[in-house]
Amino acid sequence: MNPFLRIAKREIALLFNSKSSIALAILLPFISILFFNTLLSEGVARDLPVAVVDLDHTATSRNVIAQLDAAPEIKIGFYPINQQKGEELIRLGKAYGVITIPQNFEADLKSGKQVNIINQYNSNLLLAGGLEYKAFRKVIGTISAGINIEKQRKKGVSLQQALINYQPIVAENHVLSNPYTNYSYYLNTGFLTMFFQLFVMLTTIYCFGADLKYSKGNKLLIIANGSLLAIILGKVLPYTIWFLLVGIITLLSMYVWQDFPFSGSKIMVLVGLLLLILANQSLALFFISVSSSFREALTIGSGFGAVSLSFSGITFPIFGMPILLQWLSQIFPFTHFFELLLDQSQRGFPAFYSVRSIVILVILCIVPITLSWFKLKRLFLKGKFHHNI
């Protein structure tokens, strides 16, 4: 039998006989698909608990509270007796904001005075704090507009003119991608593919590292007739095919099950997915070649995979990073696949604009394995890691 086929057959048998391989290659990828698609299924956070301190207790203040509660983003769940009690709710994590309506609120409004409604919110939680602030400003702005227009109407100004007087300039916004402001469209695209590439990385390290940990490198060389290429292809290819299938299922869970928008090239995304798998497998082999133990290789691989989320631009834009970190972000395959996926799904760019990402992914497939080739050869000749842990 061909050495490549013998090793591939051996690898498939080992996959189903190893609890760790089953967990990394089969169980965890599908658990992550179910978890993230369920966690962010609503798309937009709703009914965030907010506290209101009403020091006025009038019909006008109750009307303000009712309009705040009607905003879909927030839900008035607490009515503390003073501002200090409201701040305590924020510190305890029970409320995302506390809104204080001052004393004499109604009387001051009727007398023509300007009044302040205080909004305190936790900006450490960027998403929740931002939604609370947005809802508060929208509601208070609407109430202020109503009061202003009503005053003008009492002076004999027509409704149309009153509207123009209040807001002579109207902002007209056009959202070019993700017009529904659906956080699932953006976050799931990043989280699912990040965990997917992490499982590819760790599975590859495990399937090679386990043999080297238990001093089976020489045995593999004998089976492969001394060919390192046969070893790599035989051990990697079954997982490449499997993870390509898992990746397609991951994409289907987003763009079919969850009905995410997709208006680009499906072929470019599939090519990018295959290259993401190959690039992570290539990097996994590089990490094995520079590690002195199985544990060290797993540590480096998991750290690299986890950090890639920060360098992808999903949490902080790459162009806002220092120049050194901008360059560093280019060594992560996930950075380029995430950009390609967004361009071809939500932004609807022509396929030509994703060629750069494809080219870089190809480079990241070739360079790591090229750099590690001779070290891997020596490692398999030795048969094991330097440290047997």
Tens digits of residue pLDDT in 342-356: 889 888 888 888 999
Where residue 363 falls among pLDDT bands split at 50, 70, 90?
A: very high
* pLDDT at res. 267: 93
Q: Are 97 and 74 in contact (CB under 8 A)?
A: yes
Q: Are 244 and 273 in contact (CB under 8 A)?
A: yes
**Residue that has been written with the tokens 């995410």 in this structure:** 260
What is the mean predicted confidence (pLDDT) over 366-373?
94
What is the mean predicted confidence (pLDDT) over 33-53?
84
Tokens of 34: 């179910």
What digits encode the pLDDT tens for the residues 47-91? 889 999 999 989 989 999 999 999 888 899 899 988 899 889 988
What digits encode the pLDDT tens for the residues 247-273? 999 999 988 888 888 888 999 999 999
Give 131-156 as a DSSP string: HHHHHHHHHHHHHHHHHHHHHHHHTT
Q: How far apart are CA 350 and CA 362, in angstroms?
A: 20
* pLDDT at res. 236: 92
Q: At 8, which helix (H) or strand (E)?
A: helix 3-17
Q: Are 51 and 77 in contact (CB under 8 A)?
A: yes
Pairing between β-strand 74-78 and β-strand 48-54 as defined by DSSP bridges: parallel
What type of residue is 375? K
What is the signed CA dihedral for 71, 72, 74, 78, rounded to 10 degrees? 80
* pLDDT at res. 179: 61
Q: Are 119 and 76 in contact (CB under 8 A)?
A: no
The b-or-e profile of 270-281 (16+ CB within 10 A means b, else e) is ebbbbbbbbbbb
Where residue 109 falls among pLDDT bands split at 50, 70, 90?
A: confident
What is the mean predicted confidence (pLDDT) over 169-192?
77
